[in-house]
Amino acid sequence: MPTTHLLYLHGFRSSPQSTKARQVAARVRDQHPAVHWWCPQLPPSPRQAMQMVMEGTSTWPAATMSVIGSSLGGFYATCVAQQRRCKAVLLNPAVNPARDLQKHIGEQTAWHDPTQHFHFDPAFVDELRALHTGPLVQPVDFFAVIAKGDEVLDWREMTTRYGGARIKLLEGGDHALSDFEAHIGEVFEFLALG
């Protein structure tokens, strides 16, 4: 069934102004104007971020909603998809953010606007740990785009985590998936928005 409601979740220090989020937003606007689109600015607290997302999508039809998540947003997207049993596209998804973000505790700047600051609290690591969902319940509903050239996350961990799901493994690439435009058609096709 085609996606009628599409959620995009950005990564750590990112925002709805990320290149990928804007590319998806533009394609929805131009080619699928009937699709309900939401790309919220996520708070630093993982618990609050997930609460916001789950409340914001609580009236969405699970059978026709989908979520796209990049990096930490991919971790969140997995949580959403596991709970709602909906389709998820993961772009270089964080697999163990509780471990990886421990070294980022303290004052941080927003990637797209260095004048914006936020505090990453030690308690957020425990919140991330509490959100881990275990093995994929319906692997067929997941599509992961993973770059071997990711300089932040290990592609081997990502492919192991999403074993059984559809995976597009890129030989090069980078964490930001700078060539996302080359893959966006496949993403929309997976979401039945070809």
Strands 117-120 and 142-147 come out as unpaired
Q: Is residue 172 within 8 Å of 147, Cβ to Cβ?
A: yes
Average pLDDT over residues 111-129: 79
CATH code: domain of residue 43: 3.40.50.1820
How far apart (Å, rounded) are the C-alpha atoms in residues 28 and 51?
25
Helix 46-56 × helix 122-131 angle, to 10°: 50
How far apart (Å, rounded) are the C-alpha atoms in residues 118 and 13?
9
Q: What is the pLDDT of residue 106?
A: 74
For residue 97, what are the domain limits?
Answer: 5-190
9-68 per-position pLDDT tens digit:
998 878 899 999 999 999 999 999 999 999 999 999 999 999 999 999 999 999 999 999
Number of structural domains in the chain = 1
